[in-house]
Structure 1
Amino acid sequence: MQKSVIYITRKIPRTLVEPYEDTYEFRMWDKADEPVPRDVLVTEAKNADGLLCLLSEKIDADFLDQVPNLKIVANMAVGFDNIDVNEAKKRGIVVTNTPDVLTETTADLTFALLMATARRITEASDYIKQDQWNHWSPFMLAGSDIHHKTIGIVGMGRIGEAVARRAKGFGMKVKYYNRSRKPNAEQELDATYLAFDELLETADFVVSLVPLTAESKQIFNKEAFEKMKRSAIFINASRGGVVDEAALIQALENKEITAAGLDVFEKEPISADHPLMKLENAVCLPHIGSASTATREDMISLCFKNIAAVLTGDEPLTPVN
């Protein structure tokens, strides 16, 4: 009996593939850190039954028209804005993502980004590397306190709640905005629901954890940054598309807000000459929210479980459509 073919768009450790090798034939892009070229992806996917891909792969109608055998697209991410889910559904192709397994790790990174930005950690490290530390003064590299401040979380999903738990450990007041209220979070985390504008006006830290949708696209725009306190710090660990980047750059340059910590950008990857990289009050990371070894292995494992379920006629564990 011929094995079903699974194509993986990045090189991953063989140990993660081995449990499934007796059942499936695996093909894999041979570079771990470079995206598979579009033409190679199409050629390989034409003969594949399952596809394990990353956010960098655009799975649109044109692509789906060329892959008649494909039964499942397993996206190694919580978000799936790289996939035209409706077009996949029309063709009977299942789309899955990887929620839950990366919640705590992404919350860790989000809070680390908040702390690094508030306390100017990267600036301070560069200060020594550039051999500038030849004196001490009372306000040298003085940053913002975190304890007992107000955090405003936009997008109170799993990761938002995990960030709120960390904030409570710092004695922070937790405010949130979400499409729907979360009574359990309000009770368990002593979180207060606010309208979006009110959250912007009152929070010391505005943290974006909202998924990218038509409604949330560039929700953080010029008007949003103008509503924030001048002392506010903006953190984005969701999707770059929820921010009007030009407006953010202007807000940072004009000191309309104090600082920003960013793990995601409008167009990724960004280069060293990106305007945000030239600002001392911006901490920029290369989209590493879930980047711990254990979590990335768990994400890949969940992708395989979803693929195996669909290819054997069972229901996937984490379907999007």
Structure 2
Amino acid sequence: MDIRDFVKKQESALKKYRRVYKILDFLTISLVLFTLMFLLNMDKVFAMMTTFEVRAGTSYDLAGISIAFENVALALISAFMALILTFLIHRRDDRTGILLLVEEKYPNLQEKLRTAYDNRETDNIIVNDLLNIVSSGISKVQSSAFLKRRRLTLGLILILASASTLGIIMSNDIHTDFNPEDVITLLEDAGLLPQDEDTSGDLYDITDEGSDDDGSGTEDLTGETAIIVVEGTEVDLTLPPGTGTGFSNQQEAEEADEDFDQSSPYEISIISSQAYYEELPEGYESVIKSYFEEMAKN
């Protein structure tokens, strides 16, 4: 077997196994983090944040299942944190090459495999003899020997346990007594978080300036001309006298003497209408007349 083909094959298999380990660790860490945040009521934090307070309380429909916005946000945060932790855990995996792993698994190839691989381009009797010995040894190497079955089994068990625990907690809506608002308050008191600025002083204080004169609160809208300038044009806001009864003096209105002539009394009676004589169908005048006369009697 050619040593270069052997190394490429084993490196490809090792990358697949390491990718599986990373996925298992990522899923386990994500489920654990999401479970902890759900138990600690971290979903209430979004209602206290200006950016997400509009979204708080909403939900999304996925395949007939309603998922709260807070749970989606917690899942994304858990995934992001799990991605960072997984990267930190496996950051040194690539430093261990396939040659060292093969030599650890197969002690008879120790030092020989690396020496033969480093001198694979050299052509002499000693190197050729070493390559023949190594080739016969690597023919017995199996890629499955680099799969850590115990770690794979443990990862699957942790995922199943975490998923089951999370399902029970969410279905029963189990929470602890922890309140995120208390933590935020402590951080603000410690100066680790900026406190909300007091904007009450920015409100304009509206006072009744018109009551300084006589306390009546009335203004002479028809007196001296009031002029304002709008986009370079002077606009007269004065109301001319007599325009509209809404600005009349209430006292003068009460003192005004209005004379009315009382109409003469008359006897209330029923007067039949003569309208049925106008444009009546020919031949039906007597019938219509008798109908209205009966109606007038009733």
More strand by share: 1
What is the TM-score with the length of structure 1 in the denominator? 0.21
The structure with the largest helix share of the pair is 2
| Larger relative contact order, structure 1 or 2 (CA cutoff 8 Å, min sep 6) | 2
